[in-house]
Amino acid sequence: MTQEQLIPLILKKDDRAFTIMYDMYSKSLFAVISNLIKETDEAEDVLQEVFVKIWKNIESYNDSKGRLYTWMLNIARNTAIDKLRSKGYNNSQKNLSSDNFVHLLDDSNKLINRIDTIGIQEFVKKLKPKCIQLIELLFFQGYTQQEASDELEIPLGTVKTQNRNCINDLRTYLQV
């Protein structure tokens, strides 16, 4: 199907048109998005958002200004850039995931991992009491940030901020 045949179907909000449009353009739009957003899950979310925007705003497309693909490409690129600039995305990139540390505890049979874990705990003991409590919950007891928030009865955002600050303090002690 050509874009000239597709546009009237999209304008009529024909259900087939969405599937056809997705099949025709999703791979190339995803390539543009994933070039900007490296995490596959995030890029897939942005792609979904892009197709919803295209579907809802097709009336604003003007064929005298350019091809449909170019218009869609601009929406994809701008949406990806908006995502990169968003405060939520930037904060999610700053917060360390517990996945970064779980591997230390996963294989307790390896002597090196046991030594690393013991060494880290010694440095954690040098932190402020609130950091010790938070790191104990998040990294040594395996709590999620939400579970730690519930346990400590503080907002999730505070847990994330304190976690980041405590990890930075820990880095200072470790001189990393």
- Provide the pLDDT for residue 160: 92
CA 38 to chain centroid: 9
- Provide the pLDDT for residue 9: 86
- The rounded percent of the chain whose pLDDT value lies above 90 is 18
CA dist., res. 171 & res. 64, Å (int): 57
Most confident of 68-82, 102-116, 162-176: 68-82
Query: 13 by DSSP, 3-state: which?
Result: coil
Question: Between residues 65 and 112, which one has the greater pLDDT?
Answer: 65
CA dist., res. 84 & res. 92, Å (int): 11
Number of H helices, E strands in the chain: 10, 0
Most distant CA atoms of the chain, gap in Å: 68
For residue range 18-51, what is the model confidence (pLDDT) as tens digits? 888 899 889 999 998 988 888 888 899 999 999 9
For residue range 86-121, what is the model confidence (pLDDT) as tens digits? 766 556 555 555 555 555 455 444 444 443 444 666
